[in-house]
Amino acid sequence: MTTTTNDPNATISIENVSKHYRDQTALDGLSLKVPEGAVFGLLGENGAGKTTTLSILLGLIRADGGAVRVLGLDPERDGLAIRRRVGYVPEQPALYDWMTVAEAGWFAAGFHPEPVTGTGAYQIRYAELTQGFGLPPNRKIKALSKGMRAKVSLSLALASAPRLLILDEPTSGLDTMVRREFLESMVDLAANGQTVLLSSHQIAEVERVASHVALLHQGKLILSEPLDDLRAHTFSLAVNFQSRDHDPAPPSGLAMELIDAADAPRQARWLVRARDRAACEAVRALPGVESLQIESPSLEDVYIGYMRGRRPEPTSRVGSAHVA
């Protein structure tokens, strides 16, 4: 639809995209916008459709239907142009083991014939980046640790000074220090106006660096919004009741949407969306409520709440409810 694909502020727009692999639905009517300059965290469980989404954006696979624009280009028509302009760090970087760190940069420079910031800019930037990461230029790729390989892959992606960087699980298998370093460099990029789309399972890490988050579940979008908005409107309520006989969920008259609920004999935990904390205070006045604590959940709590709210409940769990 033209409203999304023509949005001048969206570096990426995805409109009603579906993808099936034989009888397996990977994406089911996905619509998503990644604004310019965002560090955008794409979250979802195994098989949610994250890699499929990234592959469609890069023109590596075709969607069954819908409209996609990346930097104003259509991946089905202009896949090669997109792959030249976008820095892509795949989950498992494909590097030639027999090359040295320096040779990998020289080789990749051949795929970036149009100098972005001047003649030889790619190799110069690559050398600066690898040096900054402390990578020995003459060491063979096969002799690098996993973290060092990830840094080579990131250096290769960044050396073309791309307006858009796409990373698929970039920190999986890296140690804490390297992960932090890696992700902090994403924030630096965004500060320079570059856009970063990052797929990850590491929710706490995403929370530290992302400006926007999207949750995918079974190929469908559950939410997509600036992290600050999510924080401002999501609350965890611990409601203590006077008796065991109480509402398992907020009554429909309250100005809040229930994401997930867990019940104990005289207590309920409700994860809700509401305009603000004051709107949650209304719970205090419900019949039978003894006390109420309102907390700000972590992104992980929100993620788990949304996921649990959408999963069939194990029969052993009592009294859980949700609003879809």
Return residues touching ligand ATP (CB under 6 A): 21, 24, 26, 44, 46-52
- Rounded Cα distance between 113 and 191, Å, is 27
CB-CB contact of 29 with 39 (8 Å):
no
> Considering the complex, what minimum distance in angstroms separates the CB of residue 248 from ligand ATP?
32
As measured in angstroms, the least distance from the Cβ of 47 to ligand ATP is 4
CB of 185 to ligand ATP, least distance (A): 22
Give the pair of three-digit tokens for residue 9: 């502020």
Q: What is the spatial distance between Cα 133 and Cα 164, in angstroms, rounded to a whole number?
A: 21
Which contiguous run of DSSP H or E holds residue 81?
helix 75-85
Distance of closest approach, residue 34 Cβ to ligand ATP, in angstroms: 17
Residue 46 or 119 having the CB closest to ligand ATP: 46
Choice between 24 and 138, CB closer to ligand ATP: 24
Single out the residue of 30, 113, 95 nearest to residue 64, CA to CA.
30
CB-nearer residue toward ligand ATP: 76 or 228: 76
Least separation, in Å, of the C-beta of 238 and ligand ATP?
32
* 26 vs 63 by CB, closer to ligand ATP: 26
Rounded Cα distance between 12 and 316, Å, is: 43
Nearer to ligand ATP by C-beta: 146 or 317? 146
Angle (CA) 236-242-245 rounded to 5° is 85
